[in-house]
Chains A and B, each alone.
Chain A
Amino acid sequence: MTMEFVFFQLLNGLSFAGLLFLVASGFTLIFGLMRVVNLAHGGFYLVGGYIGLTIVLATGNIWLAALGGALAVGVLGVLMETSLLRRVRGQELPEVLLTIGVAFMLGDLTLAFWGGDPRAMPLPDYLSGSVDLGFIGYPRFRVLVTLLAVAVGIALWLLMSKTRVGAIVRAGVDDREMIAALGINIRLVFTGLFFFGALLAGLSGVVGAAFLGLVPGESDIEILLFALVVVILGGLGSLPGAAIGSVIVGLIDAFAKALVPELAFFTLFAPMAIVLVLRPEGLLGRRA
């Protein structure tokens, strides 16, 4: 193993971790307050990716695509929350089944709309190519994804820990009933948070479309699995947990795919199983 190899895989792992964090942060935010395991999150990602792709093909503007994909999926999330999830609030099984149903529906709809061929997001010149990192070159886009994830992570952390909205959400995680009894419309907070979590899924879908490409019926499930492993490792509902989980999973994935590609699933799920046995609430999660 040369230094270059290790360094290259480190970068692969960290940039994939960036994408994973973008996906997992929205997922874990929603779970943290609402206790809903939103299995449609992968579908949100896929729809965001396709909408972004369509916008890029029409306008050539990747920023517009990111904005459009994120907002459209945010609205989709609000529709799902207010028209479906709200009716089964607090009933775990119907909630999960509902999100699975939506996941399958989104998978079918994207297939019908955008066809079954794998697609990739074309990138403008200034985002493609590679940057010189001293002794190796590395794809510029992947470096930017890592930076974007760090920026989003810091912004989310500031939002949650320094603002009143963040304090309301954290108070709601601690004790929903009590925050409502103090005059906060928790339903509205739920909807707002769902919008925000879905928006992050849509944004990560646009990023993922350029990073991994879009394969209907596959990308959504694959990214959902990764997100699940990330948040279970890090602790469901914990933002720092999602960050740490992303880095662990990203690095494992990069090195495993390079060294023991035939064991990619084993190396992904084994650490999760070990953590679940030793610390069921995840590395940074809170005991129920």
Chain B
Amino acid sequence: MLSIENLRCAYGTAEILRGIDMDVHVGEVVALLGRNGMGKTSLVRSVAGTRPPVVSGGTIRWAGTDTTHAPSHERARLGMGLVPQGRHVFSSLTVHENLTVAARRRQNGWDLDEVYAFFPRLQERSRSRGRNLSGGEQQMLAIGRALMTNPQLLLMDEPSEGLAPAVIAQIRERIQQLKGSDIAVLLVEQNLGLALSVADRVYILGDEGRVAWHGQASELEADDDAQQRLLAV
């Protein structure tokens, strides 16, 4: 279980998150929503340990370990897998290399064949370099690459950003397939439809650097007021 308590983080002197409490359990998909600039990416980066921002208070516990200040490679080894906003595939590596470079084996876990079966398009493009992929292919690669580390917590930051509806539909299907395996997913999204269709629970960040709403995805679906107040642009 990922358990975040009273988390604060800052870029220099600008404090962005001011006391976040959040849990994500193995087996569930939790969506993290909020308007642009509310600090969703900052939260994901704080959990993954990529700096900046710097955590200025509170704790992040994962799998029974206090990881608040652990270096990011140690968090990855504890089972966190990051699919960052903007995808960040290795541009000069081939698809194959992107997948194998940081692979970590686990009994009955993900391997190259399984990732290729999950995203057949990646196998077709296995010899292409990251920079030559389309946005959708890059997104599949970023997800596949994270899966190759056999994570138990998957942090996905806006996987649908900038993608065509058909590709988004495929990503949605894949997230649904991941759900129910022994993996916890924290999904940051701007696409409310996608989030509601895959998430069990939802947290919404408000403009004070705190959680402004949380509850079941079905509750948010019925709560027009919360949607208007916290998400409408």
User: Which residues of B are at the interface with A, using a C-beta cutoff of 8 A?
Assistant: 48-50, 71-73, 76-77, 81-82, 84, 88, 90-93, 97-98, 100-102, 104, 130, 145-146, 149
A180 CA to B45 CA, complexed, in Å = 12
A-B CB pair tally, cutoff 8 Å: 70
Identify the interface centre among A171, A177, A181, A184: most chain B CB within 10 Å of its CB.
A181
B73 contacts A185, C-beta separation under 8 Å: yes
22 contacts between A and B (CB under 8 A): A167-B93, A167-B100, A170-B90, A171-B90, A171-B93, A171-B97, A171-B101, A173-B92, A174-B92, A174-B130, A177-B72, A180-B73, A180-B76, A181-B48, A181-B49, A181-B84, A182-B73, A182-B76, A182-B81, A182-B145, A182-B146, A183-B102
A10 interface hit (Cβ, 8 Å): no
The complex places the Cα of A184 from the Cα of B102 at a distance, in Å, of 7
Contacts of B100 in A (CB 8 A): 164, 167
CB interface residues, A 172-203, toward B, < 8 Å? 173-175, 177-186
Q: Measuring CB to CB, which residues of chain A are less than 8 angstroms from any residue of chain B? A: 164, 167-168, 170-171, 173-175, 177-186
| Residue numbers in A under 8 Å from B90 (CB-CB) | 170-171, 174-175, 178-179
B77 CB contact (under 8 Å) in A167, A177, A183: A183
Contact B88 A175 (CB under 8 A): yes
Given A170-B92, A170-B93, A175-B88, do A182 and B48 touch, yes or no (CB 8 Å)?
Answer: no
A175 contacts across to B, CB distance below 8 A: 88, 90-91
Kindly state the separation between the CA atoms of A174 and B97 in the bound complex, as whole angstroms: 13
In Å, the complex CA distance between A185 and B84 comes to 18
The 3 closest A-B pairs by CB, nearest first: A182-B102, A183-B76, A174-B90
Q: Which of A174, A183, A185 contacts B93 (CB 8 A)?
A: A174
In the bound complex, residues from chain B placing their C-beta under 8 Å from that of A183 are: 73, 76-77, 102, 104, 149
Q: Are A181 and B76 in contact (CB under 8 A)?
A: yes
A177 touches B50 (CB 8 A): yes
Identity of the chain A residue whose Cβ is nearest the Cβ of B142 in the assembled complex: A178
Pick from A170, A174, A180: contact of B71, CB under 8 Å: A180
Q: In the complex, what's the smallest C-beta–C-beta distance from A199 to chain B, in angstroms? A: 24
Rounded to whole Å, the gap between the CB of A36 and the closest CB of chain B is 19
Residues in chain B near residue A185, CB distance under 8 A? 71, 73
Closest to B49 in A: A181
Nearest-neighbour CB distance to chain B for A228, whole angstroms, equals 24
- In Å, the complex CA distance between A42 and B49 comes to 37
Q: A164-B100, A171-B98 are in contact. List 7 more A-B contacts (CB 8 A).
A: A164-B101, A167-B93, A168-B102, A171-B101, A178-B90, A182-B82, A182-B146
